[in-house]
Amino acid sequence: MKRIKLLSLIALFTLSAQAQLADGYYRIQNETTKRYATVIDGYGSVNMQTTDADLNALQTVLGFEEVESAPASVIYIKKINGGYDLQAQGTGSYKIVNYALQMVDFGDGTYGAYAESSGVRKDLGDVAISTMASEQRNKYATIVTSSSLISWYVKPVTGDSEDNYIGIKPTVQIDDKYYATFVACFPFTFASEGMKAYTIKTVNEGKGLAVYEELTGTIQPGTPVIIECSSSEAKNNKLNLSGAPAYGTKPLKSEGNALEGVYFCHYKDDATDTPLPTNSKHFDAVKYNSTMRVLGKAADGSLAFVKAKGMEYIPANTAYITVSNSAPDVIKITDKDVPEPNKPGDLNGDNEVTGQDLVIEANFIMNGEYNEAADLNNDGEVSGQDYVILVNKVLGIE
Q: Beta partners for 377?
A: none
Among 32-36, 171-175, 208-212, 305-309, the range scoring the smallest mean pLDDT is 32-36
Q: Beta partners for 9?
A: 124
pLDDT of residue 231 exceeding 90, the answer is: yes
Nearest Cα to Cα of residue 90 among 216, 258, 261, 239: 261
Tens of pLDDT, residue by residue over 255-277, are 889 999 999 998 987 666 788 88
Q: Per-residue confidence at 35, pLDDT binned at 50, 70, 90?
A: confident
Pairing of strands 75-80, 58-62: unpaired
Residue 271 contacts residue 5 (beta carbons within 8 Å): yes
Q: Per-residue confidence at 18, pLDDT binned at 50, 70, 90?
A: low
Residue 192 contacts residue 184 (beta carbons within 8 Å): no
Q: Per-residue confidence at 300, pLDDT binned at 50, 70, 90?
A: confident
The pLDDT mean for the chain works out to 84
Provide DSSP, 282-308: T-B--B--TTEEEEEE-TTS-EEEE--
What is the model's pLDDT at position 317? Answer: 97
Nearest Cα to Cα of residue 250 among 98, 93, 92, 89: 89
What is the model's pLDDT at position 357? Answer: 86
Domains and their CATH numbers in the chain = 2-156 (2.80.10), 172-332 (no CATH), 339-398 (1.10.1330.10)
Three-state secondary-structure class, residue 127: coil
Tens of pLDDT, residue by residue over 131-188, are 555 544 444 433 333 467 889 999 999 999 999 999 999 999 999 999 999 999 999 9
Other Cβ atoms less than 10 A from the Cβ of 147: the count is 20
What is the model's pLDDT at position 363? Answer: 86
Residue type, 316: A
